[in-house]
């Protein structure tokens, strides 16, 4: 009986351990899945196009995406490093990428000593919102929150929002809206092309955004070169004035020395004359 009880206890222990291990494995898989889903909702910032998992080198948007990611560190992909180029551009995704572009331009403007008024404010839909707290469908924990806050409070750009102060993050951001905001805020020149109220793929978005960024950076570079040239002219003018002042000061000192020397010689001559007269 005693042996039977020990065997029963041993088997019961094994059964409990097995169930516990199975439960832990199951919970681990569930947590990993939840974490993956949570991360997938966010955005990634790879340093190389080679880290993007779903774009090939022969894709027409490859070079544009490569330039945005590698040269300008623009946030363009999701947290799992997928780009999903065939998907339509969403309003939330646009806000994140565009705010990233504005940050890049701001850095270059500041480094060049230029004014950030090169980026214009824009209220396309007459939403009249100036703070992220006014956006009705956005909470502080949202992956779009920081980008929305920056667009509104740093740049004064509320064009992506509806008149009812909604972002509608998962709704499409249309072609005409994209071209319009790039034209007004960055001065993007797209020629005679007439944008339509139609959806636009993320591939196409990358190409347009890269082109607009290149145009703006060319403008910043031109203004920077002009400013440097003006600064050099102004520096040369100031240097010339300083040299003239310095030369006048030296001439004045030399003249003063000559006057004092002449006075000393005169006094010395008068003293000798008095001695001779005695």
In tens, the pLDDT along 1-11 reads 544 444 444 44
Identify which of 51, 46, 148 has the alpha carbon closest to the alpha carbon of residue 96. Answer: 148
Asked if 48 and 28 sit in the same domain, the reply is no
Q: Would you tell me how many other CB atoms lie within 10 Å of the CB of residue 175?
A: 20
Q: Is residue 246 part of a domain?
A: no
Question: Global pTM?
Answer: 0.71
Residues above pLDDT 70, as percent of the chain: 85
Number of domains, the chain: 2
Asked if 1 and 52 sit in the same domain, the reply is no
For residue 1, what are the domain limits?
A: 1-40
Give the confidence band of 61 by pLDDT, cuts at 50, 70, 90.
very high
CA end-to-end span of the chain = 154
Q: Which residues contact 248 (CB under 8 A, 6 or more apart)?
A: none
Q: Mean pLDDT of all residues in the chain? A: 84
What per-residue confidence (pLDDT) applies to 81? 95
What per-residue confidence (pLDDT) applies to 27? 40
Q: Is residue 81 part of a domain?
A: yes
pLDDT digits (tens, 9 = 90+) for 116-160: 888 999 999 898 999 999 999 999 999 999 999 999 999 999 999
Asked if 87 and 224 sit in the same domain, the reply is yes
Asked if 222 and 137 sit in the same domain, the reply is yes
């Amino acid at each position: 009986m005693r042996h039977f009880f020990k065997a029963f206890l041993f088997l019961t222990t094994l059964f409990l351990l097995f169930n516990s291990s199975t439960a832990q494995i199951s919970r681990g898989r569930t947590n990993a899945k939840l974490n993956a889903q949570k991360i997938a909702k966010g955005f990634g910032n790879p340093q190389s196009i080679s880290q993007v998992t779903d774009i090939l080198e022969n894709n027409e948007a490859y070079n544009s995406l490569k330039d945005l990611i590698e040269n300008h560190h623009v946030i363009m992909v999701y947290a799992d490093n997928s780009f999903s180029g065939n998907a339509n551009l969403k309003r939330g995704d646009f806000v994140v990428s565009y705010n990233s572009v504005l940050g890049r331009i701001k850095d270059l403007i500041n480094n060049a000593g230029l004014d950030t008024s090169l980026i214009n404010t824009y209220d396309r839909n007459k939403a009249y919102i100036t703070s992220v707290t006014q956006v009705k469908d956005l909470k502080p924990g949202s992956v779009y929150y920081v980008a929305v806050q920056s667009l509104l409070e740093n740049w004064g750009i509320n064009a992506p929002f509806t008149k009812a102060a909604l972002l509608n993050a998962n709704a499409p951001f249309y072609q005409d809206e994209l071209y319009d905001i790039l034209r007004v805020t960055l001065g993007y020149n797209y020629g005679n092309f007439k944008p339509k109220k139609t959806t636009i793929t993320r591939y196409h978005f990358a190409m347009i955004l890269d082109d607009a960024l290149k145009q703006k950076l060319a403008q910043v570079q031109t203004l920077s070169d002009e400013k440097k040239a003006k600064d050099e002219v102004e520096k040369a003018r100031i240097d010339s004035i300083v040299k003239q002042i310095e030369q006048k000061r030296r001439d004045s000192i030399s003249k003063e020395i000559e006057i004092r020397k002449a006075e000393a010689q005169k006094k010395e001559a008068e003293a000798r004359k008095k001695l001779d007269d005695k």
